[in-house]
Structure 1
Amino acid sequence: MASSKSPPPAPDISILGDQVTIHPAGYTEIALDQNGAQERNLVEQMARFRESPLDFLREVSLHVSGTGWRSYDRIVGQPIFYSGFSDNMKSAVMSTPLLQEKIKQLASKRVEVEVDQGIINKEDMSYASKTARRSAEIEKNLQEVAEKMTDDMICKMESKRFIRGFYYVATQLLTRAYHQGIHVSSEEVLRLRTVAEQAEKNKQSIIFLPCHRSHIDYVSLQLICYRLGLALPTVVAGDNLNFPVVGAALQHAGAMWIRRSFGDDQLYTTLVQAYIDTLLQNGFNFECFIEGGRSRTGKLLPPKFGILSFLLDGVLSGRVKDAIICPVSTQYDKVIEVDSYISELLGQPKQKENLRDFLSASSVLSLKLGRVDVRFHEPWSLRGFIQKQQERTNQLPTQLQPKESFNEKKVRLLRTMGYKVLSDINTVSVIMPTALIGTVLLTLRGRGVGKSELIRRVDWLRDRVQDQGGRVAHFAGLPTATVVERGLEVLGPKLVGLVEGLPEETYFAVDRFQLSFYRNMTIHLFILQALVSAGMYTKVKQGGGPEFQRISYTELYDQLFRGEFIFPSEGLTANLDKTLRGLEAEGVISVIRNSSADQIKSIGLSNTERSSGRENYDFYCFLIWPFIEASWLGAISLFMLTPPGQNGEVWLDVKQVQDLAQLLGKTLYHQGDLSYFEAVNKETLKNAYLRFEEEGIIIVAKSRDARVASRLKLAEEWMPERDSTTSHILPRGKLWDFAEMISQSRREGKNRRDGSTVRTRVFSLVELVSKQLFEQGSERRPIESVTSRKRRGKGIQTKARL
């Protein structure tokens, strides 16, 4: 799907291990992106034994002997493959002043506790010598514990022969699953290699921060670094993947194992900081996933700040001079784990990773899942980012400069950095053909779509993506019809069905829930237009003439659904004005302005958009409606937290509340009060509850002990009233107004036109589920300290302890 307006192609590129060669373009199989930049498939199909046994044995021999690029010599970066690397790293970590100081501190505190408990007698004549001996004994024990934890944690990339073998096996598996290989932009990898060469001279680390959609993410980036001749990064990985055989192999290929939760273990936390500091001080490349865990929904998750905090702290403290940040986008035609994601999102418990399941994946690897596209944003200096943020703050008038402690400054920097990385990832992300097809199928009003219309809509959507500055995966100038056929083949009949026996091939969405994963890969490009369209829907759905369907600028601003999305950093007003100008230029809306001040007074659909059947406007609405439904479900589920006539504080198990909220949503869907089944997915509900906590609607009490469940309750000012006679929840008050505001932008259905009927039916179901909730999980436990709450607009959070 190459653009007809592409400028002359950039030079071709050959990447063979540590050799990067530029030569005139001449390979017709290699695609050009819409900017004319060269794309390159870094991992071609490898010979297979059954098809070509001699070629297969030759490849194995070349990898074992390390011939040519497979030798992985003269890599760009610090040396990592030598005997004793792990021992040297362990010694370096253990000798860090940060860790040794923490061990002494913990030993001293333990001695103080033993003195307070009378284990060591203060009146004893040998008190000083006993405390010294006891402190030394505790320090020795802590040293041993720290050494064991370090050995379990650190990556052990010592053997180049192992890496060659691991690369060969990984490539064999990957090319069987993704038969069209891994594709990159030639310009981006050339730039990355140039940055890596400079980082090597300055002894600086490149910190790769990819998005996370699949376990394949680990493999694809490692293989790219291998083929580019870059030093392989140390990859932060959850210890849930550290199961027998596979765990050891991954650790020797670069995995750094960390616990899923650190709890209140100060020694372990300091050890992680010491290890990351050591890696960055010595210029070793590093990789962690900005979202923490894998996205089960297809769109970017909010950033997790755990590992980012360690990275930032190393530079802020001066222990690390600087590091290079490289945001990375990884996109797939089809994600291997999507089936398991859907099960988890619908409430099935997540299965613990194990060797049996890993080996059973061989059946999946025989499928043809298309291609993987990896894109690298332009790398930037972490210290330069910090300095720029500080300069921006210092330029503010003195009275507007925030009076912050060091920790508050760090939190602000963390949030800014996290969302900058996500924005950078979105900027370079490539939209895959499967995402285009899934988006088209889920944004049409009809049951299905003819093949010719599907092709036209894919072309239309491709143009919209490029108009928004997005990128579309290209396949060497193949016609759209061929690309659509390949995309349908990858998605398969379980996701997209074909109606037989009709004059024209007609396709329909079989599994809308799973297809939504692919639709969500495009939504970030159109989120602002979708929000405006949904805000306008409050007037459009009323019908009547165009003059009755206009909305004032103030009403639209107040109605905008914020949701869980990542926005440009210019601010809501600037983003709204820019979006309205864009929609006006596209001919989707008409705008009435105040002639004297050029201010927007009202917005409505344009005559052009109406005459075209609202094609653009409906597309934007269909994109956002499932998320509005999910947010409305979350808001309605909060009514379940209204105590049944009880007084005092009643705390409820967070997980149990969310599970019953999902059950409520499934019931509402099957009874016709929700239009989109994907609105009941657990990930979106969790995000909704996180936003409710940030808004101060709910109060969440958390324990440092991971075995103690977090609990929540409604904030007092959001608590609904009950009828004094019937004890039923009354549809009024702050929470009701909040839910109604969201509901106004929902897609109208045949069961939701009579507000009073909906009110009665939905509230009756809410009370039924609420009764079950309070019978099973209510508790009146006292809170030992202040409760956890983020106040809106201030970002202040205090911890709650049960």
Structure 2
Amino acid sequence: MDMTRLEEVYKKWEQRSLCGWGEVSKSAEHGDNKDNNRLSQWHTSNAKNRKVKTRSHSWNFTLELIPDLVSFKTTAPVYADQSRVLRPFMGRCCTKCVPISRGMFYDNDAPSMRLRDLLKVPPSSGFISRRFPVVAYEYGRKHSFNYPPSEKVITSVLNSDRVQAAIQKSAMSEVDDVESQPEKYPMALQKHASRAYYLLSTMVASISNKLIAFTGWFLLRVLCNFISGIQVHTGQMAMVKQASEKDIPLIFLPIHRSHLDYILITYILHQYDIKSPHVAAGDNLNIPIFGWILRHLGGFFIKRKLDKEDGKKDWVYRAILHNYMLEVLKQNQSLEFFIEGGRSRSGKALMPKGGLLSVVVDAYMDGTISDAYIVPIGISYEKILEGNFNREQMGNPKVKESFLSAIHGVYKVLRGDYGTVRVGFAEPFSLQEYLQSAQPYSPLSSDLTCNGPRSPKMKSVGSDNSIYGTDIVRDDLRTVIKGLADHVIYDAVHTQSIMSTNLLSFLLLTKFRQGATIDTISESFESVRQQIIAHGRDVGFSGKAAAIVNYASHLLGDNLVSRRKGKITDKAVSDADEKECVMGGPTGNDMLIPNTCLPDIFELSYYSNPVISVFLMEAVIATAISAVSEHNLQIQHGHEDYITVSRDALVHKATELCDLLQFEFTFIPPCGSLQTIIIDALERLTSSEIIQHEEPNSTCLNSQEKSWADRLVSSTSWKDEDDEQIQPDQLLRISLSAEHVDKLTFLQSMLGPLIESYWIAACNLIRLMDRDLPEAEYTSKLLCFAKERVYKGLSSYAESCALETLKTTIRLFIHWKVLDVYHDAANKKMIQLKESYREEEKLNALIDKIEDFKL
């Protein structure tokens, strides 16, 4: 055989290997764990299907000539496991707050571990296993745990000193004069004691191993009818499993997106043989049948509103809730509660509530528990089971849950298609280590690694003023608890995966509000997907962008994304596309058009908002650039090559914007520096050449880059105050090339709806210039004004009239001391404008401050 023939054989086998590698990489993205033999068999059969033929004597000759090269070309690449390393591994502990916990359960192999779909039963041998795989799988998992009997818990809680003191205090407050009316006090005492028993008996959970096992079987049989898969990262679960084997309670803190969250996490833990936690659930879910199921799966029901009347504390209920949680932790049981409180109506993470978390901290402080492992959890749905929150965002009251509505909801869910669910478990970290490292002027203690007794430096302080009746009220400890809650939310958000519907909705609302072809959207889809991964965040999908875009638009539905049939105009279009077009299938020229009308825009925004957290700081910088330059970049493009802005002014403006949106996002963990992450975002935009550093002598590019790097290191390094030197202001060039202007506009559009909401709210403060208004009435007027602007076509973003965002603006103005709240004689909550802002000049200055960021 001559060398020409050898090169032909080589090229054929090279094509085979390249095709095989593409499929192996795709399988690795899905977490496929096939061994090399099976891959090799598939590789060979795939080659036959493609009708690639070789002669036996050519094959033998090649082996003799270059055996190593041909062996590489005829064997499936051993890259499946290595490619998994490319998947970002999310959820690592904070290096500043909990450095010891960061290495406690982590294994270097964890990032390369695969994803697992918990709706797929592992294969097993045997006749019964093959005929009834789900039953055999659940029956073979004979894992059960000890849970405290509810009767024992009730007795212990009712006999506690805190509950008895609360009963006596409530009885005495009911009787005006105990000395003159001694017969009334015992009656009041009995009344509140009976109420305490009733409250506790309706609250307490009663976990059943049998029901958990039955639910595991039931969910395996039922969930697959409307959910494509429940994905978890086996590396993350390995860390949680190790933590569960310690004799220390776990505190699971998921973000809240759906009522399925309660059952989903218990189901996942059951699949990994981890003890089920006691789950705090709203008492609105304590309805017939459904409430019974939740109770026996670990749910304990708490009131949404702890006190019957505003300004009057319900001491008995607070004491019962507090002591019940303490008793659960004392029995070495795990807890789970949603630190946001209720479900998010916007798709973004809500600001955390520290009430229940303070009880856990109190349990550590008073020695009830020696430690606890905190586990933030991020949950991502391709499609929310409960539908949407459009009614509530439009200002309509929430529909109360009932048995019939639950049945109707279940029936509706069973008939739907809700895609996949991805649940990310962050690395567990020690509460003890966090509290000790969070103390001001106190070095980090390392007694986590030794067996000696602990001696916490912070002590409980007796008081009746805590949110949930806890004794923790010291200001410094309140700050620590708030920091812990913020850290949990930050970690949970950065453990979330971006789903296909999230990314498609995001692109439709930021780049293609007027619609675009599938080919155009797919190109941007793939580009943003790569940027998400580059930011260290994972995506919950894989495959070709065009196929994913079609799939996501199908999940979102025609009411959110309409499709307009396109015509094939490109002669180079594939035969497959032409065939699909003839048969009525989707093609690359089909148009996808988002529904930007009320109220459907709220649902599309809900799916879009989780992506903002990935690009948040770049969006802040891009918006600050327009505010500092006072120019519309789209208009400036074509007239100038660049504009120049002050670096100090840009950083200052970005800080102002973060202050404006402080209740919308958790920009940094409590241990972080806002200045640092702003500079980091500047660096990322500099590396993409959108921002350039202007030097007096810019002839040497290397010198310019070195100067910028030196200043960056200097600004982010730790220095003593004595060594700190004032650096001269620097000028930055903002590129106005078409590509860079499009990128900046894309980033600015992420925050545009929020900024417009805050501007509208600021303009409406004039309503309070001459009178105070009830909070409900003022909020209603603000919402009506915002919706009217949308209907008249005056708003740039229809989603700017979302009720949830408008309520948050009021919270910000109260925090800024622009507004004040009080209760009138009828105990109605009133809102008033602060005296200093009743001057028109001062109010206009506030409006102008926000309008600077408005596009």
- Same topology, TM > 0.5: yes
Equivalent position of 2:140 in the other structure: 68
Equivalent position of 1:497 in the other structure: 562
Equivalent position of 1:694 in the other structure: 815
Equivalent position of 2:842 in the other structure: 734
The equivalent position to 1:551 in structure 2, one of 645, 667, 672, is 645
Equivalent position of 1:17 in the other structure: none
Q: Distance in 2 between matches of 1:12 and 1:642?
A: 67
Structure 1 pair 671–228 and aligned structure 2 pair: CA distance change class (3 A) = same
State the 1:215 CA deviation.
Answer: 0.9
State the 1:4 CA deviation.
Answer: 7.0
Equivalent position of 1:519 in the other structure: 608
State the 1:453 CA deviation.
Answer: 1.6
> Is the 1:639–1:720 contact (alpha carbons within 8 Å) kept by the matching residues of 2?
no
Structure 1 pair 593–194 and aligned structure 2 pair: CA distance change class (3 A) = farther
State the 1:217 CA deviation.
Answer: 1.0
SS for the counterpart of 1:428 is coil
Q: Which amino acid aligns with 2:245?
A: E
Q: Say which one has the larger Rg.
A: 2
Equivalent position of 1:483 in the other structure: 548
Equivalent position of 1:677 in the other structure: 798
Q: Which amino acid aligns with 1:653?
A: P
> Is the 1:37–1:185 contact (alpha carbons within 8 Å) kept by the matching residues of 2?
yes
SS for the counterpart of 2:178 is helix
Q: Which amino acid aligns with 1:119?
A: Q
Equivalent position of 1:382 in the other structure: 431
1:447-496 per-position Cα deviation (integer Å, ceiling 9, x unaligned): 11111221111111111111221111244xx3233222222221122211
1:270-309 per-position Cα deviation (integer Å, ceiling 9, x unaligned): 1101000011111111100010000011110100122122
1:208 equivalent to 2:252? Answer yes
Q: Distance in 2 between matches of 1:522 and 1:605?
A: 25
The equivalent position to 2:401 in structure 1, one of 343, 353, 364, is 353
The equivalent position to 2:120 in structure 1, one of 36, 44, 49, is 44
Q: Distance in 1 between matches of 2:732 and 2:779?
A: 38
State the 1:371 CA deviation.
Answer: 0.4
Structure 1 pair 497–29 and aligned structure 2 pair: CA distance change class (3 A) = farther
State the 1:143 CA deviation.
Answer: 3.0
Structure 1 pair 422–310 and aligned structure 2 pair: CA distance change class (3 A) = same
Equivalent position of 1:33 in the other structure: 87
Equivalent position of 1:90 in the other structure: 154
Range that drifts further, 228-237 or 537-546: 537-546
Structure 1 pair 626–214 and aligned structure 2 pair: CA distance change class (3 A) = same
SS for the counterpart of 2:793 is coil
> Is the 2:642–2:733 contact (alpha carbons within 8 Å) kept by the matching residues of 1?
no
SS for the counterpart of 1:575 is helix
The equivalent position to 1:227 in structure 2, one of 271, 274, 278, is 271
SS for the counterpart of 2:730 is strand
SS for the counterpart of 2:253 is strand
Range that drifts further, 420-429 or 504-513: 504-513
For structure 2, list consecutive stretches of 5 or more residues without a partner in the other structure.
1-21, 36-77, 89-110, 308-312, 445-460, 462-471, 569-588, 697-706, 712-725
1:447 equivalent to 2:514? Answer yes
Structure 1 pair 593–150 and aligned structure 2 pair: CA distance change class (3 A) = farther
> Is the 1:103–1:267 contact (alpha carbons within 8 Å) kept by the matching residues of 2?
yes
> Is the 1:32–1:474 contact (alpha carbons within 8 Å) kept by the matching residues of 2?
no
Q: Which amino acid aligns with 1:265?
A: D
Structure 1 pair 138–636 and aligned structure 2 pair: CA distance change class (3 A) = same
Structure 1 pair 629–13 and aligned structure 2 pair: CA distance change class (3 A) = farther
Structure 1 pair 189–45 and aligned structure 2 pair: CA distance change class (3 A) = closer
Equivalent position of 1:791 in the other structure: none
Q: Which amino acid aligns with 1:556?
A: L
Structure 1 pair 383–745 and aligned structure 2 pair: CA distance change class (3 A) = same
1:297-333 per-position Cα deviation (integer Å, ceiling 9, x unaligned): 1110100122122222222333332211100000011
Range that drifts further, 312-321 or 226-235: 312-321
Equivalent position of 1:267 in the other structure: 316
Equivalent position of 1:572 in the other structure: 674
Equivalent position of 2:766 in the other structure: 639
Q: Distance in 1 between matches of 2:266 and 2:244?
A: 15
RMSD over equivalenced CA pairs, Å: 3.5
SS for the counterpart of 2:177 is helix
Q: Distance in 2 between matches of 1:337 and 1:257?
A: 20
Q: Distance in 1 between matches of 2:29 and 2:642?
A: 50
Structure 1 pair 342–42 and aligned structure 2 pair: CA distance change class (3 A) = same
Range that drifts further, 653-662 or 324-333: 653-662
SS for the counterpart of 2:848 is helix
Equivalent position of 2:782 in the other structure: 661
- Aligned pairs for 1:201-350 (under 5 A) are 202=247, 204-263=248-307, 264-339=313-388, 341-350=389-398
> Is the 1:209–1:289 contact (alpha carbons within 8 Å) kept by the matching residues of 2?
yes
State the 1:25 CA deviation.
Answer: 11
Q: Which amino acid aligns with 1:523?
A: I
> Is the 1:31–1:39 contact (alpha carbons within 8 Å) kept by the matching residues of 2?
no
- How many residues are matched? 671
1:114 equivalent to 2:182? Answer no
Q: Distance in 1 between matches of 2:134 and 2:740?
A: 59
The equivalent position to 2:854 in structure 1, one of 746, 767, 777, is 746
Q: Which amino acid aligns with 2:493?
A: N
Range that drifts further, 276-285 or 31-40: 31-40
Equivalent position of 1:508 in the other structure: 593
1:627 equivalent to 2:791? Answer no
> Is the 2:28–2:84 contact (alpha carbons within 8 Å) kept by the matching residues of 1?
no
Q: Distance in 2 between matches of 1:422 and 1:279?
A: 24
1:169 equivalent to 2:258? Answer no
Q: Which amino acid aligns with 2:204?
A: I
Q: Distance in 2 between matches of 1:687 and 1:386?
A: 30
1:388-428 per-position Cα deviation (integer Å, ceiling 9, x unaligned): 11155679xxxxxxxx9952122201210111001111221
State the 1:252 CA deviation.
Answer: 1.7
State the 1:446 CA deviation.
Answer: 5.9
> Is the 1:13–1:40 contact (alpha carbons within 8 Å) kept by the matching residues of 2?
no
> Is the 1:238–1:258 contact (alpha carbons within 8 Å) kept by the matching residues of 2?
yes
State the 1:170 CA deviation.
Answer: 4.0
State the 1:556 CA deviation.
Answer: 2.4
Q: Distance in 2 between matches of 1:320 and 1:522?
A: 38
Structure 1 pair 716–149 and aligned structure 2 pair: CA distance change class (3 A) = same
State the 1:651 CA deviation.
Answer: 3.1
Q: Distance in 1 between matches of 2:515 and 2:791?
A: 21
State the 1:537 CA deviation.
Answer: 1.6
Q: Which amino acid aligns with 2:794?
A: D
**TM-score where L is the length of structure 1:** 0.77
Structure 1 pair 671–206 and aligned structure 2 pair: CA distance change class (3 A) = same
Equivalent position of 2:94 in the other structure: none
1:154 equivalent to 2:221? Answer no
Q: Which amino acid aligns with 1:552?
A: S
Q: Which amino acid aligns with 1:527?
A: L
State the 1:670 CA deviation.
Answer: 2.4
Q: Distance in 2 between matches of 1:718 and 1:308?
A: 37
SS for the counterpart of 1:115 is coil
SS for the counterpart of 1:232 is coil
> Is the 1:435–1:518 contact (alpha carbons within 8 Å) kept by the matching residues of 2?
yes
Q: Which amino acid aligns with 1:537?
A: S
The equivalent position to 1:190 in structure 2, one of 227, 238, 252, is 238
Structure 1 pair 265–687 and aligned structure 2 pair: CA distance change class (3 A) = same
Equivalent position of 2:530 in the other structure: 463
State the 1:599 CA deviation.
Answer: 5.5
SS for the counterpart of 1:327 is strand
State the 1:9 CA deviation.
Answer: 11
Equivalent position of 1:759 in the other structure: none
Equivalent position of 1:366 in the other structure: 415
Structure 1 pair 551–671 and aligned structure 2 pair: CA distance change class (3 A) = farther
SS for the counterpart of 2:245 is helix
State the 1:702 CA deviation.
Answer: 4.9
Q: Distance in 2 between matches of 1:290 and 1:304?
A: 6
> Is the 1:30–1:40 contact (alpha carbons within 8 Å) kept by the matching residues of 2?
no
State the 1:91 CA deviation.
Answer: 1.8
For structure 1, list consecutive stretches of 5 or more residues without a partner in the other structure.
15-23, 48-53, 121-129, 396-403, 644-649, 722-732, 748-802
